[in-house]
Amino acid sequence: MGKKSIPALMIAVLIPIIGYLFLRTIGERAVTMPKKYFFDSVITKEIDGKLVTDTVWHRTANFTLVNQLGDTVQLYDIKGKAIVFDIFFTRCGSICPQLTKSMSKLQQGFKRGGNTRSMVVDTSVVQFISLSIDPERDSVPVLKHYADKYGVNPDNWWLLTGNRDTIYDFIFKELKIDKLEKEPVSPDFPHTSRFVLLDKNYIVRGRLEQPYTGLQKDSASLELLSRDIGLLVLEKDKKQRNKVLSAIIDLGWLWLVIAVLISGFVWYIKQNRKANS
């Protein structure tokens, strides 16, 4: 092999190595995901002589309430989905109709099917929940009438009523709505236009600098929420994707083999030259 062949060989080997490093960098590049908001504790432990902190994020507690169909449901009945909450009451004449219409747009945005008529709501991706803050008046028949009025699809959208303390405790202790809002939220009647997003582990997610609001004038907010729902869906399959990506780009062992082969090849050429000189 001539001297000109060696640089060509090195280039041929370096190209896939550079490509591999590039793909690995892209694969590990952090996506701007909706952040986790609230944590319960921070655990510090020592690993290999180094102190490592591990945040225990607040996981919203379960509840038992009743939906517009009269079914008793629990939060933890929802598995592997993003969850979107809003807070409303049926007698509201101000922002609640806007929130319901915005939620309906979100639900319609997650459809699948061949054409407009055959498209159905994709219930595997996201669950919508509207919590009534006036449960004494918002009985099951009242919720059903309201849901029918606004074309609510019950397949993945619950309008919930039940014990008032259960609902209010969930709003303040679990969703922590008063900590999300910049303006004070009344503990006696938490009327807010904010939507709250949970991931599949029931952890509140979002963007403090860009809150999700259900007001119809805030179309950009709904677009952001819709996108973040999609990101959480991708996050749901993250471990499975990593197995596939590992099989494709995590080939460190292969580059070690290549390096050994190159070293052996170079040594063989040197020995050949010595024998011919």
In a domain? residue 148: yes
Residue 74: Cβ-neighbour burial (10 angstroms; 0-12, 13-18, 19+): exposed
Please give the tally of structural domains in the chain.
2
Range(s) of the domain holding residue 210: 56-236
Residues 6+ apart with CB under 8 A from 79: 200
Residues 249 and 210 in one domain: no
Residues 164 and 243 in one domain: no
Q: Where are the beta strands (DSSP E) in the chain?
A: 35-36, 39-47, 50-57, 64-66, 72-74, 82-88, 111-112, 120-121, 126-132, 157-160, 196-198, 204-206
Residues 204 and 245 in one domain: no
In a domain? residue 40: no
In a domain? residue 49: no
pLDDT score, position 29: 46
In a domain? residue 43: no
Give CA–CA dist 55/167, Å, rounded: 27
186 sits in which H/E element: none
pLDDT level of residue 4 (50, 70, 90 thresholds)? low
**pLDDT > 50? residue 46:** yes
Residues 13 and 98 in one domain: no
In a domain? residue 45: no
pLDDT (tens digit, 9 = 90+) per residue, 213-267? 998 788 899 999 999 999 998 885 544 544 444 444 455 556 556 666 676 666 6
Can you tell me which residue has the tokens 């099989």? Answer: 247
